[in-house]
Amino acid sequence: MSCTLRVRWTLIANRFPRPWRSCPRCGTQRAFECSDKFRLNANGRRLDAWLVYKCTTCDETWNHTLFERRNARDLDPDLLSALEANDPALVSRYAFDVAALRRVAHRVEEFAGSVARKEEMASRPAAPARLEIVLAAPIPIAIRLDRLLAAELGLPRARIGTMADAGRIITAAGLNRPVRDGCRVQIDLAVDDADLILRNARP
């Protein structure tokens, strides 16, 4: 029987990135917050769609263009319904598209906060000697791997570094790099913190 406990952490960001743009009302660069709402405009058979943002200082709105002058017949009916209903999943898809935001903003402020949904991937060994964590990040999250491990496992970040230096944490990803979808981390449980690590790593 395998002596490795395998778990999956699915990371869900809990705050949208904020584009910084020149606010007409404030007269300077300001952060804009996603309003969770779409705006649609019909001109004959043509449709425009935007994701609405608000200035964090004065509530001035800015419409982030999603598409313009699209023929309504060419649009997926499910997409159109989601836009009309301000579907939260669709809002997230566009609000987390940092590459698109960077093309229209002075800069984009990203946040490291996330929620980890944890699940065991196989039957639990009676006395696991190793822990393997598979990280799923459907949407890129701006948090370093060492910070994530420290926060979720209840260990000081310095302890994470010490364990990595001693070969007790093994990963192909850099601990000081942002978490990436599919990243795997193996932890040797022959350490004083094993009980704490196991308790926090599992659901």
Under a CB-based contact definition with an 8 Å cutoff, are residues 83 and 1 in contact?
no
pLDDT tens per residue across span 28-69? 999 999 999 999 999 888 999 999 999 999 999 999 999 999
Q: Do 47 and 70 meet the contact criterion of CB atoms below 8 Å apart?
A: yes
pLDDT of 1 reads: 44
Q: Provide the 10 A C-beta neighbour count for residue 71.
A: 10
- pLDDT, residue 112, reads 64
Quick one: 122 and 146 in the same domain? yes
CA distance 121 to 168: 21
Quick one: 53 and 127 in the same domain?
A: no
**Residue 173: is its pLDDT beyond 70?**
yes
Structural domain ending residue among the three candidates 109, 124, 157: 109
Kindly report the average pLDDT of the chain as a whole number. Answer: 91
Domain termination site, one of 67, 86, 109 = 109
Global confidence as pTM = 0.65
pLDDT, tens digit (0-9, with 9 covering 90-100), for 67-105: 999 998 899 999 999 999 999 989 988 998 888 999 999
CA distance 155 to 66: 42
The verdict on 22 and 103 lying in the same domain is yes
Number of domains in the chain: 2
Range of the domain at 79: 18-109
Does the structure show a pLDDT above 80 at 171? yes
